[in-house]
């Protein structure tokens, strides 16, 4: 067998939980070692979207919010979901506007990312938004947000000191820093 071929065999798969945002499958499998096993897979009904906005002075914008599953406050890049079948860039534009009030004239896709590939098939996309125009933000009813403007280097330091732990934010900020020679 080629090393990149799937060594797992799925014997049975059933959805055990589902809501408007995700489903959880229970799968009976044969492992690569040939032994019986189980696997749980979380499938999201949205693509993950992250945006690193950069203004003319090299500042970025973070969004702070309380994250219920973590039971803690989190600083992140503007991010959200893109319904399956929707253009991720259009969703990125919507999320940036909703969460920060910013619109961008220039957009660059910088990455496709898997957020936690041992437990979920979630796919994400990261963008840089530049040539920014400030407007009014309009967060969703489930969001109580703070917006913070800071130099990109300071946001990267927050990643390096684990003040930012969100995977999309970490990847996006570090990639933009690398692209900008920080």
Q: What is the CATH number of domain 46-179?
A: 3.90.79.10
The per-residue pLDDT for 135 is 84
pLDDT band at 104 (very low <50, low <70, confident <90, very high): very high
The per-residue pLDDT for 46 is 95
The per-residue pLDDT for 13 is 96
Res. 139: pLDDT tops 90: no
DSSP annotation string for 35-98: -EEEEEEEEESEEEEEEEEB-TTSEEEEEEEEETTTTEEEEE-SEEEEETTS-HHHHHHHHHHH
């Amino acid at each position: 067998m080629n090393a990149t071929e799937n060594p797992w065999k799925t014997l049975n798969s059933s959805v055990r939980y589902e809501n408007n945002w995700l489903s959880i499958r229970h799968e009976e499998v044969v492992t690569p070692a040939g032994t019986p096993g189980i696997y749980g897979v979380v499938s999201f009904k949205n693509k993950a979207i992250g945006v690193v906005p950069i203004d003319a002075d090299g500042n970025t914008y973070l969004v702070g919010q309380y994250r219920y599953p973590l039971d803690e406050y989190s600083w992140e890049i503007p991010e959200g979901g893109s319904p399956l079948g929707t253009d991720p860039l259009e969703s990125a534009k919507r999320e940036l506007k909703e969460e920060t009030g910013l619109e961008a004239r220039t957009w660059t896709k910088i990455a496709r990312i898997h957020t936690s590939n041992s437990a979920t098939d979630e796919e994400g996309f990261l963008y840089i938004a530049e040539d920014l125009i400030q407007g009014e933000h309009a967060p969703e009813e489930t969001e109580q947000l703070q917006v913070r403007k800071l130099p990109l280097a300071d946001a990267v330091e927050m990643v390096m000191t684990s003040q930012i732990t969100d995977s999309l934010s970490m990847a996006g900020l570090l990639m933009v820093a690398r692209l900008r020679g920080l």
